[in-house]
Amino acid sequence: MFKKLAVKIGFTETEIKVLLFLLVIFLAGFTYIKFIRGGTEATYKEFDYSKEESTLLKSEQGDSLEEASTSENKDSVKKQVLELKDKPYGTATKKEPPERSINLNTASREELMKISGIGEKTAGNIFSYREKNGNFKSLNELMNVKGIGDSKFSKFKKYLYIK
């Protein structure tokens, strides 16, 4: 029987036996789920971990477990853990300094990093360029600093001045 079927389909006898075996197992599983178990919907249990999270966080901070389980602390702990901010996402995190408020030749790294677009690395590059080449003669000289291109320079040049 398998030989005739193998010739018609183009499979070997072993391949036909494997396919039939898989078909029988599939049908048995389908029959079990549909008729014996009674449906395909799975039931999921929901569990609220917020109480356990706040207890764990408070115990790590050294507070007592009774104090940690109070509902007063739940929101503040969640906010601390998730670092949620009241501002919507995508807003700038740096407070911009006033325009023309930072002297490029006397500014420290921390002052330079207050400007949006200048991070720790760029501030370090500006600082080392200034130490190597002396004071800046014009703002356009910033374009010689590694990591500062046209677009970056145009974003923060309004906050700088040279004296």
Asked whether residue 113 falls in the same domain as residue 142, the answer is yes
**Domain for residue 10, yes or no?**
yes
Whether residue 43 is contained in a domain is answered as no
Examine the domain organization and report whether 60 and 106 are in the same domain.
Answer: no
Q: Which residue has the higher pLDDT, 163 or 107?
A: 107
Q: Confirm whether 33 is domain-assigned.
A: yes
Indicate if 16 and 64 belong to the same structural domain.
no
Tokens (6 digits) for 80: 């601390």
- Tokens, residue 147: 């990591």
Instruction: Classify residue 88: in a domain, yes or no.
Output: no
Task: Judge whether 45 lies within some domain.
Answer: no
pLDDT digits (tens, 9 = 90+) for 38-66: 765 667 778 777 777 777 777 666 655 45
Q: How many domains does the chain have?
A: 3
Report the alpha-carbon distance of residue 135 to residue 107 in Å, rounded.
11
28 Cβ neighbours under 8 A, 6+ residues apart: none
Place of tokens 């001045």: 161
Same domain, 56 and 77: yes
Domain residue limits at 57: 50-82
Coil, helix or strand at residue 121: helix
33 & 55 share domain: no
| CATH code for the domain in which residue 123 is found | 1.10.150.280
Rg of the Cα atoms in the chain:
34
Q: Note whether 56 and 23 are same-domain residues.
A: no
pLDDT digits (tens, 9 = 90+) for 85-99: 555 545 555 677 888
**In whole numbers, what is the pLDDT of the chain averaged over residues?**
79
Q: Determine what percent of the chain is predicted with pLDDT higher than 90.
A: 27
DSSP one-letter code for 67:
H
Whole-number pLDDT of residue 83 = 61
Whether 96 is in a domain gets the answer no
**Structural domain contains residue 155:** yes
DSSP state of 36: I
Q: Model-level pTM?
A: 0.43
| 114 is a domain residue | yes
